[in-house]
Amino acid sequence: MSSLRALSFRKGFTLLEVLVALVLVATSLGASLRAVGSLTQNSTALRAAMMATWSAENKLTQLRLGHEWPSIGNSSFSCSQGELQLICEEYVSGTPNPYFRRVEVSVFDVTKQRRRIVNLTQVVPNGQ
């Protein structure tokens, strides 16, 4: 009976229990850090997509409101937004109706020119 009484007074955790708890905490912290890193990367990509869309929309709005008739062909120009360095490529083609032109604006990241961020297309009427 004295050995039973000795067991009932023992309190605390064993070293093995503490190590298992530390492994569980470390695993959950690692997963949390990975999730935060993923969210950061996603927000950067969303910000770049938003800025690229603004650049393309700016060019298409200039064509729509400026009453300039775009000439058929390709052109490339800088269309940076803030600290994000972007390059816009404009492709103008004819349509079956000679009073309209199809304008396609693609926006690329300067650091990764093969990565197209956004591509917008619009039909522009002859304003003259």
Model confidence pLDDT, tens digit, residues 33-91: 888 887 777 778 888 889 999 999 998 888 888 767 888 999 999 888 888 889 999 99
pTM above 0.85, yes or no: no
pLDDT over 80 at 11, yes or no: no
| Interatomic CA distance for residues 90 and 51, integer angstroms | 17
Q: Which residues contact 82 (CB under 8 A, 6 or more apart)?
A: 51
**Domains of the chain: which residue ranges?**
15-125
CATH fold of 15-125 reads Pantoate--beta-alanine Ligase; Chain: A,domain 2 (3.30.1300)
Token representation of residue 88: 């816009």
